[in-house]
Structure 1
Amino acid sequence: MTAQLPYPYIYADIPHLTEVCTNLVSNAVKYTGAGGTIRCGITQKPGEKEGWCDTVVTVADNGIGMSQEFQKHIFEPFERERTSTVSKVEGSGIGMGIVKKLVGLMGGAVEVESKIGVGSTFTVTIPCRIASEDEIQAKREINPSDQKCLCGTRILLTEDNDLNAEIATELLQEEGCTVDRAKDGVECVDMLEKAANGTYQLILMDVQMPVMNGYDATKKIRRMDDPQKANIPIVAMTANAFSEDKQVALDAGMNDHIAKPINMSVLVPTLRKYL
């Protein structure tokens, strides 16, 4: 790993950035054979706005590479080069879909250069606000590291979209959570009913789902005979952050409400309130 950082203190979305780097490195390892080389680098350059910089992360390998045609689709969910199957390399390719979405959430861009038999280089550019040492110290004092840890928390994630579920699961696992997924409200209610008491500490509930939406699932859970299950904390996930959406969630019996796409700096404190 090479590093030349003219701006040692920046504001960055660490969980999202960590997930991006993990996926890129895992992808490089998967498609680079024994004896191959993987190089990771991080640099910074002045940003477009005053007080901002661009943090540039590169992951380069000399693995099997990709065709020009496939590079046009590499960031689409579940895409994988046909030659990878021939090479006995397993994997769905969903990691690159996650990378594209997470980079977009951070306002950045991701590019790839690749050639069959030569290797691939992924470049991620993330705009970051420059911070001072005093700001960082003040933030550490406000947010001490001994805050309630989420490690060991088991969450029932109810989300019908595969990519959104994959991203949420990865980010929650980074915080030490164990995540089980239900694909709709009916499956969520069924999993909670069948689980032993105390299996789940909290439910993250998407509200717009087929079969049974999050509001109806919550109402059904609140009417369960078992008081421990009926009172499990439920946090709504919606595409909007309007106050009326939060009120609808509360009226349905949910404890709280967060907007999608998930922002871990909002979700983690919200989860801590109920654990």
Structure 2
Amino acid sequence: MNIISNAVKYNKEKGEILLSYYETQVDDRHILFEFHCKDTGVGMSKEFQNHIFEPFTQETGGARSVYGGTGLGMPITKKLIEKMGGTIKFESEKNVGTTFMVQLPFLISADMKHAESQEDDVSIGGMRILLAEDNELNMEIAEFLLTNAGAEIIRASNGKEAVEAFAKSGVGEINVILMDIMMPVMDGLEATREIRTMNRSDASAVVIIARGGISIGQ
């Protein structure tokens, strides 16, 4: 969606956007899809093309600088695609346009109904998750994935903020805490100890998961 929204945002008046995809069966269990998004927009300078996937990088001095933004859209997009085992490439020419090419592999299921029933059994829709993460890019990616899955996110940029957010919440209001271990002000382990010793019924019961998938007990 970020690629398409950029194609719209940075296009010219009466410009065009062409979306296409191709599929190639790799073997009897895997298939590869390639998605193309081609626009007739303002394009990118050679210098900016070398840094487009770097966090907080924006092109200045051109039409792109008018629209602003955080400079996190493309780095997040690239990370998400790579987490899915895919690749992203692009071709761009200043004042001519840009074409993005994304390749994503998929597993061909022999029993789609069985796979769908398994997916239905696991859902985080409606859950309230306290997300403690000091790295802004990691925070953006995690929040994007979790909210897309239907969860409500409470953000904390360090352990102290996580402790304060949990203390302010109602009993049982937070279902899960995702806790980064290495954070400034107060690290994840100390924050966990603070939460576990609070005088409230859910302090010892709330699930706290450290980055890396380790469940933190008392």
Which of 120, 132, 142 matches 2:98? Answer: 120
Could you tell me which runs of 5 or more consecutive residues in structure 1 were left unpaired when the two chains were aligned.
1-21, 254-275
Q: Decide whether the 8 Å contact of 1:52 with 1:128 is kept in 2.
A: yes
- State the AA in 2 paired with 1:105: K
Which of 197, 201, 205 matches 1:223? Answer: 197
Aligned residue for 1:102, secondary structure, equals helix
**Alignment TM-score, normalising by the size of structure 1:** 0.71
Which of 118, 122, 133 matches 1:143? Answer: 118
Aligned residue for 1:60, secondary structure, equals strand
Pairing of 1:1-275 with structure 2 (within 5 A):
22-47=1-26, 51-83=29-61, 88-129=66-107, 131-132=108-109, 134-140=110-116, 142-143=117-118, 145=120, 147=121, 149-238=123-212, 246=214, 249-250=215-216, 252-253=217-218
Aligned residue for 2:78, secondary structure, equals helix
Count the aligned residue pairs: 218
Q: Decide whether the 8 Å contact of 1:27 with 1:95 is kept in 2.
A: no
Aligned residue for 2:141, secondary structure, equals helix
- Hey, what's the Cα distance between the residues in 1 that align with 2:204 and 2:114? 41
Q: Decide whether the 8 Å contact of 2:58 with 2:65 is kept in 1.
A: no
Cα displacement string for residues 83-118 of structure 1 (whole angstroms, at most 9, x for unaligned residues): 456752121221100111122222222111111111
Superposition CA RMSD, Å: 2.4
- State the AA in 2 paired with 1:143: Q
When residues 229 and 83 of structure 1 are mapped into structure 2, their CA distance, relative to the original with a 3 A threshold, is: farther
- Identity value in percent: 39
**Alignment TM-score, normalising by the size of structure 2:** 0.88
Query: Which structure has more helix as a fraction of its residues?
Result: 1
Could you tell me which runs of 5 or more consecutive residues in structure 2 were left unpaired when the two chains were aligned.
none
- Hey, what's the Cα distance between the residues in 1 that align with 2:205 and 2:63? 47
User: What's 1:267 paired with?
Assistant: none
- Hey, what's the Cα distance between the residues in 1 that align with 2:178 and 2:91? 38
- Hey, what's the Cα distance between the residues in 2 that align with 1:125 and 1:154? 33
When residues 106 and 209 of structure 1 are mapped into structure 2, their CA distance, relative to the original with a 3 A threshold, is: same
